[in-house]
Structure 1
Amino acid sequence: MGEDKDGVYCKVCGGIVPGTIDIKQILVDGKATGINHLEFIIDEVKKLGALSDAETKAELLKRAKELNFIPTKKEAAYAEGLLDAFKQG
């Protein structure tokens, strides 16, 4: 019998397995905000080569949304924070 899984979860408590979390912080509207797998997201966008700031923000946001909850109303602020982290790293 096959199992469909949406992720890796603890078999005891059902929570996320700590080893699968890699959270780094960015500033979103001046507040430190955790982003899971930030380094991975940045590395994936760097592989795309030279992009404009607008294209870079769109690619960063797209990947970040796959691994993190980002409120629709805050997408622009997250995109700015992700771009700042991208330029620093």
Structure 2
Amino acid sequence: MPDEGEYCTVCGGTPPDKILIKRIMVDGKETGIDKLEWIIEEVQKLTITDSIKIGDELMLRVSQFNYIPTKKKEAYREALLAEYRRAP
């Protein structure tokens, strides 16, 4: 049987220790982004230098784990790029 992932034994959802939400400011509002630190590390491994391509990669990965409202996509992109630039 294939591995179906990890689930909370109490509620059946994501186990609390597997939730990796970081809060950043998006369009002046504090917003939680799940797995952001991991996503930034993965994009850094690509060694891309073009800001547009970095933004594309961040948006692609963030949208896999988080809802991004259509009207706020550009605000998310700017906030994610700013957070990426601050990362070590």
Task: Name the TM-score, length of structure 1 as normaliser.
Answer: 0.84
Which digits, 9 at most, give the CA deviation of each residue in 1:11-41, with x for residues without a partner?
A: 3222321011111111110111111111111
Q: Which amino acid aligns with 1:52?
A: D
Give the distance between the partners of 1:39 and 1:15, measured in 2 at CA: 21
Question: Residue 85 of structure 2: SS of its match in structure 1?
Answer: helix
Question: Residue 47 of structure 2: SS of its match in structure 1?
Answer: coil
Q: Which amino acid aligns with 2:73?
A: E
Q: Please list every run of at least 4 consecutive aligned residues from structure 1 whose deviation after the TM superposition is greater than 6 angstroms.
A: none
Q: CA deviation at 1:4?
A: 7.5
1:20 matched to 2:32? The reply is no
Give the distance between the partners of 2:3 and 2:48, measured in 1 at CA: 38
In the alignment of these two chains, the number of paired residues is 87
Aligned partner of 1:57 in structure 2 is 55
Which digits, 9 at most, give the CA deviation of each residue in 1:38-83, with x for residues without a partner?
A: 1111111111113211111110010111121222222111111100
Task: Name the TM-score, length of structure 2 as normaliser.
Answer: 0.85
Identity over the aligned pairs, expressed in percent?
A: 48
Give the distance between the partners of 2:13 and 2:43, measured in 1 at CA: 29
Aligned pair partner of 2:84 in 70, 76, 86 = 86
Q: 5+ residue gaps in structure 2?
A: none
